[in-house]
Chains A and B, each alone.
Chain A
Amino acid sequence: MDAMERRVFLKGAGMGVLAFTVGGANVLMTPGEARARGVPFRLLKANEAETIEALGETLVPGAQSAGIAHFIDQQVSVTPGEALLEARQLNVKPPFVNFYRAAIGAVDKASEARSGRRFAALSTTDQHDFVDLMRQNKIEGWQGPAGGFVYFVLRSDAVDVVYGTMDGYESLGVPYMPHIAPEKRW
């Protein structure tokens, strides 16, 4: 990677830019931009993305517009070695899409069993209450990865897209302070 590429890459990394597929070509943009432009999902189905967005927004306000579903969709479509998901550090076994599908399925199944509606169709108050029970593993009849673990992983993803970028730091009023790009390699 030469100096120019390095600077471009650093800028992209700080902004949270990823490669999304638009019209068959890879285009660099943030997950939020991908959502705003309606970039098609690579692996997630529409209802799965809808559940992720609703969960993300409940966990961290702003996660939906920050593109949490596009972030996860793009990330589960790349190799485990390229993936930037917190799941990677939490001993989730690749392919990571299997975990997310199981997690989303568990959430919607439990939501339908409790109220006859998928999670995304619940009121904001009911979504909050559902997540509060899920994080404590207190939803009866839960089927899938442990609710507390689903909460932790999805919350981490939401924290990433809302707070973990340069824009996120700025929104919290804290300096990002990236390192100086090295002039040379050792």
Chain B
Amino acid sequence: MATQEKVDVVIVGAGASGSVYAAVLAKAGKKVVVLDNGPDWQTSDLISSDIWGRRIKPAGAPFLLEGKHPVSMGAQGGWGVGGAALHYFANFPRLLPNDFRIKSEHNRAHDWPISYEDVAPYYDKVAQEVGVSGDAKAEELWRPKGQTYPMPPMKTFKNGQVWLKGFEANGIRLVPAPVGMNSVEFKGRPACIYDGWCHVGCPIGALANPLVTFLSDARKAGAEVRAWSTVTRVLTDASGNKVTGVEYYDQKHEKQFQPASAVVLAAWGGQNPRLLLNSAAGKHANGLANSGGLVGKYVMTHFASGTNAMFDEEVETAMGTIGAQYMSYERYGKTAHQGAFGSTFIVAGFASKVSGLGGIANTRPDLFGADLHAFMKRAVKNLARITAFGEEQPKIENRVELASEKDEFGMPLGRIVHNYDDNDAALWNANFEEGLKIAKATDAKDVWQGRGAQPTIHFMGGTIMGTNAGNSVVDSFGQTHEIPNLYVAGPGIFATAGASNPTYTVFALSLRGAENLAKTWSTVAG
């Protein structure tokens, strides 16, 4: 094993959270290396095609996905520099105050060790940093006041406007959806052209993916990004009180050791616990930061209840962004639906492309042959959709663990076991019922929903935050309770899932954690 030159910090993963840590620490004068297991994508690689867009999705199978509701890693995860944030929808709703105190207010799940007020300044900072379009004042219907967004809301299209009547009839207020996209030119990045290809990556930089935001800043500040570098273990010193760096395999599959004063695990949410568990050594016999046995536990996802509507008029189905035009927190209260606990976040109006998992053809997966063709001819112009995201409650049984089978580097595969319970199903169904009511109150000719398997959207938990090693893996900054110079970043540290798309919160928490690491550097890693 060759040993690389020692750096201040090595970051595992060049996605949303890793790019924030890289930017903050490089700007603070630290020598930063970011290791990512996939290609070094450039924005010019982001082809406008559902077929070619699959190149930026996970390429292998390092996880065995089990349970009644297996997590959808292939669709949700990323691969290569930029991570899943290279193809995220850039919906930027934030968590609300009630998300942080479920235990206190409802005696369910657990509280976060911080409050909304601790995170809110970082939501505002991220908005100014990467660019958010929206109407913050309008959001104050449901959340505390904060800074205004740096850009006005995005344009709306008929595929969003046709829903207004249905929501109003059901007493659900809509406001412009906040998105990490440019409604106008921002910091030299152009305004969005509304062609709806966001989900396969935005090559013009109108969407705030890491390549054009934090990772670009990090590189300018001197951070080195090493693609095709697969980390397999975090190493500790003889005392077990400090990590000393990471072991990884380079593009030639040669083993390397990257020494560092601090390690930040910012890989996919399932991969971080896999790494911690595979790094068992000395006094950490069950894996790093795992004395409480909680590494890999409390995996959470969101479930979407989608409603489709076909109109007589053409509704500009292909136009807009994949991110939403309108959003509502009207059902975000944990008890908003009788008999189904948890928050719901609703979005309306988004571009629909022809093919792909979320494309038009899959809104009627039962159709094939001539029937499918007839449907497609109509739907490409007359279809509009809404989605309600539901919050899964954390369950310790939903977990990441090591399997006996190994990958090409000899590292045990991860096994992710995930099941929803009756409450999750009840909330999913309640959101379907409400979606149907909304759709029927529009001018739609036909309305329908696809209730197949309950979907598993986004990936959270597995390395949750809390107050001590007995109830969590990391503190509110992402610092592991047991090893001060080992951090974990990303949605894995969420204590509960909320119902909002997670990446805005990932950016905010990562900024908070990275700034704290820079501020406490001399005691943590000095």
Q: Which residues of A contact B (CB under 8 A)?
A: 1, 6, 9-10, 13-14, 16, 58-61, 79-86, 88-94, 128, 131-132, 135, 151-152, 155-156, 159-160, 163-165, 168-169, 172-182, 185-186
Contact = CB atoms under 8 A, between A and B. Distances in A.
Interface stretch (B135-143, B157-165, B369-377, B462-470): B369-377
Interface in B41-87: 42-52, 54-55, 57-61, 65, 70, 72-75, 79
B370 A163 contact: no
B180 interface: no
B354 interface: yes
8 contacts: A13-B47, A80-B60, A81-B59, A91-B65, A131-B368, A179-B195, A182-B203, A185-B43
A101 B359 CA distance: 26
B355 A164 contact: yes
B51 A186 contact: no
Interface residues of B, number: 58
Interface of B: 38-39, 42-52, 54-55, 57-61, 65, 70, 72-75, 79, 193, 195-197, 202-205, 211-212, 216, 317-318, 354-357, 359, 361-362, 365-366, 368-370, 372-373, 376-377, 380-381
B79 A93 contact: no
A146 to B, nearest CB: 12
Contact of A60 (B49, B79, B317, B368): B368
A167 to B, nearest CB: 12
A163 B354 contact: yes
A155 to B, nearest CB: 6
A34 B70 CA distance: 37
Nearest to B188: A186
B43 A182 contact: yes
Given A81-B39, A180-B193, 18 more contacts: A1-B45, A10-B48, A61-B369, A79-B59, A81-B55, A86-B356, A89-B72, A89-B75, A91-B74, A128-B369, A132-B368, A160-B51, A169-B354, A177-B196, A181-B44, A182-B44, A182-B205, A186-B205
B203 A181 contact: yes
B54 A93 contact: no
B212 A83 contact: no
Among B38, B44, B47, B203, chain A packs the most CB atoms within 10 A around the CB of: B44
A155 B65 CA distance: 23
A169 B355 CA distance: 10
Given A93-B61, A180-B204, A159 B361 contact: yes
Given A160-B355, A163-B361, A84 B52 contact: yes
B211 A186 contact: yes
B415 to A, nearest CB: 13
Contacts of B197: 177-179
A80 to B, nearest CB: 5
B58 to A, nearest CB: 8
8 A-B pairs with least C-beta separation:
A164-B355, A178-B48, A81-B59, A177-B195, A174-B380, A89-B74, A13-B47, A89-B75
B369 to A, nearest CB: 6
Contacts of B193: 179-180
Contacts of B44: 1, 6, 181-182, 185
Given A91-B73, A172-B377, A186-B43, A164 B49 contact: yes
A120 B359 CA distance: 29
A14 B200 CA distance: 13
A182 B202 CA distance: 10
Given A59-B368, A172-B354, A178-B197, A13 B61 contact: no
A174 B318 contact: yes
A160 B376 CA distance: 13
A76 to B, nearest CB: 14
Contact of A91 (B72, B362, B380): B72
A151 to B, nearest CB: 8
A80 B361 contact: no
Contacts of B54: 83-86, 88-89
A16 B52 CA distance: 9
B59 A173 contact: no
Contacts of B380: 172-174
A184 B249 CA distance: 31
Contacts of A177: 48, 195-197, 318
A14 B61 contact: no
Contacts of A151: 368
A89 to B, nearest CB: 4
Contacts of A182: 43-44, 203-205
A90 B74 CA distance: 6
Given A60-B369, A83-B54, A180-B204, A185 B42 contact: yes
Among B51, B70, B73, B212, chain A packs the most CB atoms within 10 A around the CB of: B51
Contact of B357 (A13, A89, A176): A89
A88 B360 CA distance: 19
Given A91-B70, A172-B377, A135 B366 contact: yes
